[in-house]
Structure 1
Amino acid sequence: MVALAVALAGGGAVAALRPPNAPPPEHSVAPTVEPTHAGPVQRPPAELTYPPDPLARLANPATVALSSRPVQRALALFQPLNQEYRADGPVRILGDDGVVRSLDVVTPAPTRDRGGNEAPAVKPGVLSPDGRSIAFAQTNELILVDLATAGVRRIPLHGYLELVLWSVDRVLVGGDDGAYAVDRVSSASTPLDVSAWDLVAPDPEAGREAALVEVGGEREGLLLRSRTPRDGAVRTEQRVTDGMLPSPYRVNEFYGRGWLHGERLARAAWITSAELDGAEGVAVLDARTGAVSHVLDLGRDRWKACCEVLGWDDRGAVLIRSKPGGLLRWQPETGEVTGVVRDLTGTVALAG
């Protein structure tokens, strides 16, 4: 199961990972789609089924502390939040043994930017693909937690750091002040010339020399870039294209974390649909050419930045965090959407 992250819809990549300015409208979210709707554009009907799934335990309360019972591999993290979008209790760790643990060895502070805007430290990408470590971006430092030993390392850095993702043997961490690559073993850090907001999480199966991928921009200016893995220098740059989608469908802007699975890239987006310019959606595109191949049209009447992508599973399905709602699984090849966890008030990170 690939690490995934929470999708927010509405006003740009930065806003997608920060708390909303006002409470969202009350709408229940239960998207699903008929398996026969396998065209490039797929829409969610009304009801959602919930097949048995190990991740469903993520909604359960913690029964033991990490310090008293470390875990070899975590499947997911969950940070409960209150109505003010602040931490409501310790981070929960769902282990591959089915036990939900509380993170008691460190309490990460909210991330913040120069303007004082805060967001929860648990975001998509903080849990390593192997489920053995957590990386928390913090102001002027990176915190690494070893889940097998419950050990904590604090690595001094500089700036208002807000986002992390794991790239093979390194942790990439950054914010509006720039980004760093931090060696997982030695803790050595190197400045990296990339956008922490638009950087795509690599496929866990990719080698250390695989290119970094970045996708961002707006409307006609949407760009897909590949960068050298060690210094972030641009290798290739091309436009994101919508030619495989029926008119008037198009991607307007991406938000949240993007995720690679082989040569496919999934990321939440605001789209132009048959009914609305600015609808919520999830797009899948070819990471080599930038061509958008599938769009899940989530329509109107949803929270701003409702549906961030959290990653891919090993069967090629996209995992999506629906707000309000829970965790969803979308199979672009068949159009099938099923529920994973019903209602989660908080942020989620998944492992590969």
Structure 2
Amino acid sequence: MNEPELTRLLTRAAEDVRPTRPAGAGWERARRVRRARRAAGAAALAVALVAGGTAVLLHRSGPPPDTPAHPTVSPATSASPVQRPPATLDRLDDPLARIGDPAGDPLSARPIGRALALFQPIDPDTGEAGVVRVLGDDGVVRELDVVPLAPTRDADGNEAAPLKAGSLSPDGRTAAFAQPGDVVVVDLTDASVRHYPLAGYLEHVVWAGDRLLVGDNDTTYELDRRTGATRKLPVDPWELVVPEPVRVGDLLTLGGIEDSLAVRRFPAGGTPDRRLVTSGDLPPGYRLDEVYGRGWQRGDRIAQAGWTTTGTMRGGEGVAVVDVRTAAVTHLLDLGRDDLGKGCCQVLGWSADGAVLFRYDVGGLARWRPETGEVAWVARDVRGLVALAAG
């Protein structure tokens, strides 16, 4: 066996090592990878914290943050297709920086006009999930006290925290939670709760505009919130891309491994279309091998986290932008693999001004502008699961 073959073998073996402190969302990632690699019998556990994107300025109360907020400096005026974050990120003044604040009033006592985010703290040592909190557009964090939420469960008995990446509606007025045999929908503006019975091991919720999609192990349902009726959709619930709220059309999925990684389009009443993902204009030796977490659409682009090949190194962490029309990777943020947990950097959505929001470092929320290469902090020390209003 020559040296390159040995290097590839050791890299493959290292990819299946579990992180030392998995969070609750890691259970969800592990189940997805087991299915994707069923033929090889491999499973990977990701430490991933989930969510979607928004950017609205709020009035701040209380003392200023420990780190002075100031704009980031763009590392390039015309960024290359492959980019890397600077060693030290600047911090932006953003309302989402308050996402980890302690909860004040309960939601039942003080409903909101609109939520910017939902947050469920996770104990980093035990993996135990706390009560879901709501960050309102008034800058106040409330506790979601109107309904008890149980962990989701799969057919093998694995549990995960109830807050998912797609739980918050694009307008920030409604929250949805998959529950065992049940879908819970909370109107955040009046704190009312509605239950929709649905059989199955429900794990996913995704808003497609005002449509609510719910998924179990291998089936996606569209739930009619007026009647409670459901219909099956021919899309994989794990690979389903969150549509852009203002222009919901055909549903998209992004999934597969290496040479089978593909974008699939599911037109209503039409024949599905499949395009294999290519490296586009990336330099030779660079490619997107596999994706994880949830993909998020904006126009003709999908942003999603994944594992990459960068030059001679496999298994690196990255964030990619894929052109829906051609399935080519147009931009790749190369995050490397040193000091990063496997599956560290899930995409959270697009901000209103066109930046990609993603998890970075432990508990960090960052934003990346593919066109310029800017990367900056939005929030730090947010230890838990996050869902943002993607509108």
TM over 0.5, yes or no?
A: yes
Please state whether the residue corresponding to 1:205 is helix, strand or coil.
helix
Counting only pairs closer than 5 Å after superposition, residues 158-177 of structure 1 correspond to structure 2 as 158-177=199-218
Check whether the contact 2:152–2:180 (CA below 8 A) recurs between aligned residues.
Answer: yes
Report the AA paired with residue 35 of structure 1.
P
The aligned residue for residue 311 of structure 2 is 274
Check whether the contact 1:283–1:295 (CA below 8 A) recurs between aligned residues.
Answer: yes
The C-alpha deviation readout for 1:287-343, integer Å capped at 9, x for no partner, is 122111001111012101000001001111000022513110111010000101111
CA distance in 2, matches of 1:306, 1:77: 19
Check whether the contact 1:159–1:177 (CA below 8 A) recurs between aligned residues.
Answer: no
CA distance in 2, matches of 1:195, 1:23: 22
Comparing 150-159 and 170-179, the one that deviates more: 170-179
Check whether the contact 1:271–1:281 (CA below 8 A) recurs between aligned residues.
Answer: yes
The aligned residue for residue 227 of structure 1 is 266
For the pair 1:152 / 2:189, whether they are aligned, the reply is no
CA distance in 2, matches of 1:158, 1:12: 23
For the pair 1:330 / 2:359, whether they are aligned, the reply is no
The aligned residue for residue 139 of structure 1 is 180
Aligned-pair RMSD on alpha carbons? 2.5
Check whether the contact 1:33–1:336 (CA below 8 A) recurs between aligned residues.
Answer: yes
Report the AA paired with residue 96 of structure 1.
D
What residue ranges of structure 1 are gaps of 5+ in the alignment? 1-5, 25-31
Check whether the contact 2:209–2:244 (CA below 8 A) recurs between aligned residues.
Answer: no
CA distance in 2, matches of 1:259, 1:249: 22
Report the AA paired with residue 140 of structure 2.
V
The aligned residue for residue 186 of structure 1 is 227
CA distance in 2, matches of 1:297, 1:7: 23
Check whether the contact 1:252–1:269 (CA below 8 A) recurs between aligned residues.
Answer: yes
Q: State the 1:188 CA deviation.
A: 2.1
Counting only pairs closer than 5 Å after superposition, residues 40-55 of structure 1 correspond to structure 2 as 40-55=81-96
For the pair 1:84 / 2:122, whether they are aligned, the reply is no
Please state whether the residue corresponding to 1:307 is helix, strand or coil.
coil
Check whether the contact 1:79–1:92 (CA below 8 A) recurs between aligned residues.
Answer: yes
The aligned residue for residue 337 of structure 2 is 300
CA distance in 2, matches of 1:136, 1:96: 21
CA distance in 2, matches of 1:222, 1:22: 19
Check whether the contact 2:292–2:306 (CA below 8 A) recurs between aligned residues.
Answer: yes
Please state whether the residue corresponding to 2:259 is helix, strand or coil.
helix
Q: State the 1:218 CA deviation.
A: 0.6
CA distance in 2, matches of 1:20, 1:221: 18
Given candidates 263, 280, 303, the residue that maps to 2:300 is 263
The aligned residue for residue 211 of structure 1 is 250
Q: State the 1:254 CA deviation.
A: 0.6
Q: State the 1:21 CA deviation.
A: 5.8
Given candidates 301, 326, 334, the residue that maps to 1:289 is 326
Q: State the 1:185 CA deviation.
A: 3.2
Comparing both structures, which one devotes a greater share of its residues to helix?
2
Q: Aligned residues, how many?
A: 333
CA distance in 2, matches of 1:219, 1:177: 21
CA distance in 2, matches of 1:15, 1:33: 37
CA distance in 2, matches of 1:248, 1:328: 27
Identity percentage of aligned residues: 52
CA distance in 2, matches of 1:23, 1:269: 13
What residue ranges of structure 2 are gaps of 5+ in the alignment? 1-23, 35-42, 49-71
Please state whether the residue corresponding to 2:99 is helix, strand or coil.
helix
- Greater relative CO, 1 or 2 (CA 8 Å, sep 6+): 1
CA distance in 2, matches of 1:20, 1:346: 20
Q: State the 1:153 CA deviation.
A: 0.8
Report the AA paired with residue 357 of structure 2.
L
For the pair 1:73 / 2:114, whether they are aligned, the reply is yes
Please state whether the residue corresponding to 1:56 is helix, strand or coil.
helix
Check whether the contact 1:127–1:135 (CA below 8 A) recurs between aligned residues.
Answer: yes
Report the AA paired with residue 266 of structure 2.
R
The C-alpha deviation readout for 1:117-151, integer Å capped at 9, x for no partner, is 11111121110000010110112111101001101
Please state whether the residue corresponding to 1:145 is helix, strand or coil.
strand
Larger Rg belongs to: 2
If the length of structure 1 is used for normalisation, what is the TM-score? 0.89
Report the AA paired with residue 382 of structure 2.
L
CA distance in 2, matches of 1:155, 1:11: 26
Q: State the 1:12 CA deviation.
A: 6.8
Check whether the contact 2:29–2:293 (CA below 8 A) recurs between aligned residues.
Answer: no
If the length of structure 2 is used for normalisation, what is the TM-score? 0.80
Report the AA paired with residue 319 of structure 1.
L
For the pair 1:242 / 2:279, whether they are aligned, the reply is yes
Q: State the 1:228 CA deviation.
A: 2.6
Check whether the contact 2:25–2:160 (CA below 8 A) recurs between aligned residues.
Answer: no
Please state whether the residue corresponding to 2:97 is helix, strand or coil.
helix
The C-alpha deviation readout for 1:43-71, integer Å capped at 9, x for no partner, is 12211111211111112101111000111
Check whether the contact 1:12–1:255 (CA below 8 A) recurs between aligned residues.
Answer: no
CA distance in 1, matches of 2:275, 2:33: 25
Q: State the 1:269 CA deviation.
A: 0.6
Runs (4+) off by over 6 Å: 10-13
